Structure formats: C-alpha cells, structure tokens
Amino acid sequence: MGGSPFMESLRKELRTRHYSLRTEKCYMYWVRSLIRFNGMLHPEQMNNTHIELFLNHLALDKAVSPATQNLALCAIVFMYRHLLHRELVGLEYGYARAPRNLPTVLSPQEVQRILSVMQGQTRLITALLYGAGLRINEALRMRVKDINFFDHSLFVFRGKGSKDRYTLLPQGLHSDLQAQIQHAQYIHKADLAEGFGTTSVPPSLHRKYGNTLKDFSWQYVFPSVTRCRHPHDGYICRHHLHSSSYSKNLRTAVVQAQIGKRVTAHTFRHSFATRLLQQGTDIRTVQELLGHTDLRTTEIYTHVVGNRRAGTISPLDIIAMQEVREPDAPFTYQKQPLPI
C-alpha cells in the first residue's frame, strides 16, 4: 500500500505543500486505514457513507480520542481536496469537540525530585523543557548555533506552526550544555573522519546550504547515536535523538521519584508557563516565550494558577487570620449576634 502510485501521489502532494514529516506519516497512515477498512476500495469510488462508517468505527469500535478522530478526518479531507480535487459535501460527520482539560503542572519541588533521579542527556533535556518552556521536539532539534551563552537565550527555529522565536537559556545550565556540545563535537569529528558529517535539515535548506551543513555550528546538540539516510533527499546524515528514547527514560524517572501525576515531556512546558505567571511575569511575555499566536492559548494557564495569581484569598481564610485565639487553642468559629 505504501508503494502504490496513489499513496506516492499523496506523499508528493504533502511534500509539495511543505507538510512536516510527522504530519506526512500521520496522514498516510489514516488514508491507508480508510482504504483497508473499505476492502481496498479506491477513494475515488467511495462516497460519504464509506467515510462515515470508517469514522464511526474509530469512535465506537476503536474508542479513539476526539483529537485522533479529528486528525483522521483532516487526513481524509486533505486527500480529497488536494489529490482528488473533490470537496466532501454533505458529510454527516463533523470535527469532534475535544473536552477542555486544564494541563497538569508540577511544583518546583516535584520537578526537583524528578531531576534528582535523572542523569546525563535525559536530565539536561528535562531541565531545558522546564527552564526554557520548550516542546520536546524543539529541545531535540536544537543546534549548536541556536545557543547564545552571552545573552542567555535560545533560538527556536521553526517551532510549532513554523514560527521562529527566542526563549530563555537558564544560566544554571551553561556548564552542562557546554559539556554536551563537546560530546556532540566528538561525534561530529568522527563522522568527518569517515567521510560524512552532514546534519539532517529540511529539503529546502539542504539545497540552499549544501556542504555548509557539515559545519559544527549546524550540528544537533543531542545527536542520534547512529547515522541514517535522509527520508526526502537520500543523503547520509546524522539526525537528532529520537523523542521515544527520552519518553522511556522520563517514565522510569517519574516512577522512581514517586510522582503521583501523569507526567509527559509537555508537562514541564506547562509547569514553566504556570510558574512564570505565579512569579508575576506579564502574560504577553509568557505568550512570546511559549510561541503562542493567540493569547487565548496562553490564558489557559491563568486558570491553572487560579487565585494565587490574582492575590485572592478565601473568605474562610480571612476569618482565620482575623481570629484572635491562644496559640495552642483549637480554632473555632463563633456565631456572632445579628445587628439590630
């Protein structure tokens, strides 16, 4: 299926429109699933009923999340709109409304407990996620040239939505980052000695910069342990560390630290934003550091901070603070006579 002319045409269309490799894989997967569900029927011969049955199958039989339902529908709409040049009119299946869940955040003490059981690259990546508010792929894609020790800043190239931005570089990570850069340089020198040394980049950059991509400044701070063939252009390159490797180490650390919360790489980004707001950082500044286009996306963290950010105190706590009592005496609420 992956090598069929139709699927290769879909892949070409995705790359022509500069979709990320991750999105390409997702869209290809869901289109394949649609075709297999309908007995290998070609999408040109399908009608709305075939698509609706497939989406209902995902929701009812597979019990996928609303986000996964929407991703499958996006892939199908893309295929029909851009490859078959046909709009899905009258489809009795809209995008699922995902529940609005407040993000899980960690206290500084919980972050410290997790960091205390980590070592090496895993610890440094986690510290960057929490200290700079990075997404996991942004941390792994960081190159040597993106780090500015003098200004204490990190350059995030083509973050989510292909947006560039600057964020904080924690001063406490300078020595660890410099040690990691030396490790990356050792690997790069070995690659050059064997006739390689090119880093992986988007296709447009490879054509533009060519052999410049062998310069150390272009190398990933967290390089992969092996070289690979570039999925678009076919040249031998060294990619960055894969996120699955980090996720596995993170799960182990969370168990060892005895954290009773569901913790993912993104949890540290949530905790970064929440902590900044608790410290009184302007929400516009937090928006810029996180790279959010819409302020409403950042405002969800004000709900996590709650009354601590606004300085609001519970009326019950006010009574407790005003109550005059003996230091060791138990606290009691006294009924006051009503004014006449």
User: Which residues contact residue 260 at a Cβ distance below 8 angstroms, ignoring those fewer than 6 apart?
Assistant: none
Count the Cβ atoms, other than its own, within 10 Å of residue 91.
17
Catalytic residue among 141, 269, 270, 275: 269
15 is catalytic: no
Catalytic residue among 135, 141, 238, 240: 135
Select from 145, 130, 138 the least CA-distant residue to 159. 138
Which DSSP category does 222 fall into?
S
266 is catalytic: yes
86 is catalytic: no
Q: CB-hemisphere CA count at 13 Å for 292?
A: 18
Which DSSP category does 57 fall into?
I
301 is catalytic: yes
Helix axes 295-305, 283-290, angle to 10 degrees: 120
Residues 270/103, Cβ–Cβ less than 8 Å: yes
CA 63, 64, 69, 75 dihedral sign is: negative
Catalytic residue among 25, 57, 165, 266: 266
57 is catalytic: no
248 is catalytic: no
Catalytic residue among 123, 160, 165, 230: 160
332 Ramachandran zone, left/alpha/beta (phi>0; psi -120 to 50): beta
C-alpha span between 124 and 234 (Å, rounded): 31
Q: Which residues pair with 155 in a beta bridge?
A: 166
Residue entry with tokens 């996306």: 297
Extract the runs of DSSP E, i.e. beta strands, from 45-168: 147-148, 153-156, 165-168
- Provide the annotated active-site residues: 135, 160, 266, 269, 292, 301
